[in-house]
Amino acid sequence: MPDVAYDRAAAARPLDWVGMRRVALPLCVSDGDGRPQRVPAWADIGVDLASAETRGIHMSRLYLLLQERLVAGPLTASLLRTLLRDCIDSQSGLATTAHLGLRWEQLLERRALASDNAGWKSYPVAIDASLSPAGAEIVLAFGVEYSSTCPASAALSRRANAERFETDFAGDDAPSKVDVREWLSSGRGLAATPHAQRSRADVRVTLRDDVDALPLLELVDAIEAALGTPVQTAVKREDEQAFARANADNLMFCEDAARRVAAVLSTSPRVARFDATVSHFESLHAHDAVARVAGTATG
Ligand SMILES: Nc1nc2c(ncn2[C@@H]2O[C@H](COP(=O)(O)OP(=O)(O)OP(=O)(O)O)[C@@H](O)[C@H]2O)c(=O)[nH]1
């Protein structure tokens, strides 16, 4: 059968990236307990076309390698490195580099804060993997949603509560502890509430060369613990009260959240470099408060 890919290229020149975008496949990843889990995923796979005179690459070979390796899984850094090497080799000398992008939603089970319940949250995950004569680089990216309560608004709310207390207990007689407790528990005891909003940390980490298992769960757990207020799954009243306490104990500007995320990533033994952006989708403003932090890890 004719194979025009071998034709001599018109306007011959090398190309930086040739391949396929949005290849659908059932990606085999490891779930939170290390068991293989198949998830719908989309892959972008490509190589450079280093041979200026050759018209086309062998696309089917890249496609078949994706189906052969990523469906069997589970996805690890060594599987990605081997796949990229084989993508380059499949082109029989036409290519020197390969790039693979993967995107999927990862379900992770999360326990309630106080009750004996649990539920599942979906996390957006992506992989950007490349192999060139300079070596391999694997970037793991994911998003973590949390609640942020504004520290400035909290201070102003406490002041409003104190002023209302003075108004309601304006007489000379000192109120009893019971009076104060009842007032605090009543609607009058909350003169103002600080604004809080759903927020998201978008994290990208370049993995160290000695990492094989993808540290998604480890990093999600560490970041959610550092922020203190991850959005919840199953919520009973005791969970909601615990969440309200966690927000009071973890008042955060976007700058505070960015520093907490950086403190985790900069000390992780799995991370070589990181780049994180936190976005607070403000309930006070029609715009978002955003902070970005990047650096190398020393862990
Ligand atoms: N390189 C290239 N191939 C394309 C493009 N669009 C479609 N194809 C098709 O991709 C199909 C697979 O290409 P190849 O991998 O060369 O298929 P093949 O020649 O049957 O397989 P091999 O013998 O292994 O090379 C061919 O039918 C091409 O026509 C394109 O823009 N560039």
Q: How confident is the model at residue 299 (pLDDT cuts 50, 70, 90)?
A: low
Q: Give every CB contact of residue 252 below 8 A, 6+ residues apart in sequence.
A: 148, 149, 151, 227, 229, 260
Span 167-193, pLDDT tens digits: 999 987 889 999 999 999 999 999 999
CA 181, distance to chain mean position in Å, is 42
What is the dotted CATH code of the domain comprising 8-149+195-296? 3.10.270.10
Per-residue pLDDT band at 92 (split at 50, 70, 90)? very high
Percent of the chain topping pLDDT 70:
98
Q: What is the pLDDT of residue 172?
A: 73
- Calculate mean pLDDT across residues 242-269: 98
CA distance linking residue 4 with residue 114, whole number of Å = 65
State pLDDT tens for residues 28-44: 998 877 788 899 999 99
Residue with CA nearest ligand 1 atom 10: 59
Residue 58 CB–ligand 1 contact under 6 Å? yes
Q: Which residues of 249-275 are buried (b: 16+ CB within 10 A; e: fewer)?
A: ebbbbbebbbebbbebbbebebbbbbb
**Nearest-CA neighbor of 260 among 282, 232, 231, 228?**
228
In sequence order, the β-bridge partners of residue 106 are: 123
Global pTM reads 0.93
Ordered by start, the domain boundaries in the chain are 8-149+195-296, 151-189
Beta bridge partners of 139: 128, 206
148 by Cβ neighbours in 10 Å (0-12 / 13-18 / 19+) ranks as buried
> What is the residue with the minimal CA distance to atom 4 of ligand 1?
59
